[in-house]
Amino acid sequence: MSTGTGALTTDSEALVHRAYHLAEGDVLDVQGFIDLFAEDGVFNGIGGVSGQESYRGEHLGDVVVWMGELLPDVHRELHRVNVLGDVVAIELSIRGTFLGPFETPAGVILPTGVKLDIPTADFWYVRDGRIQEFNCHVGMTTMFAQLGVLPDFESAVPASAPER
């Protein structure tokens, strides 16, 4: 993992690096991940199957668990890390092997063993040494393409036609 700038690591940046480490496939310390958040902290998963989901309290680790089941060897490759005070903005790739089931509103996509490399942008907001808010923007369209699950535009067009 590189910091991109070569600058000294800040406390906020070190906290974020710790969160990534705890969410790696070979570590998966869900409680440790949750413990990095403020008592009223929130994790916003943006771009997922349902659009946006927010997690709080004991559910802060739900996405970590889900990702660990989907990609047991999950790894986050940090490309650019920008620290602006207590805000840490990161461009990264989520990488791993699709070995777990992927539940969708239409049913379960069974694992294929394909390697995924999903572009992601994360924004971490730190207050008093704890994560206050984590916004994770996942490139789901790219992920779906890598899974071989492309949108059904043909059926979506007639469904969106205005009634007369």
Domain boundaries along the sequence of the chain: 11-151
Half-sphere exposure (Cβ direction) of 20: Cα atoms closer than 13 Å: 24
Confidence label for 158 from pLDDT (cuts 50, 70 and 90)? confident
Three-state DSSP at 19 gives helix
CATH classification (class only), 11-151? alpha beta
This prediction's pTM = 0.85
Decide: 30 and 57 in contact? Cβ < 8 Å: no
Q: What is the DSSP letter of 101?
A: -
Query: What pLDDT score does 153 carry?
Result: 77
Query: What pLDDT score does 3 carry?
Result: 42
Task: Tell me the C-alpha distance between 99 and 103, whole Å.
Answer: 13
What does the pLDDT look like over 72-93, one tens digit per residue? 999 999 999 999 999 999 999 9
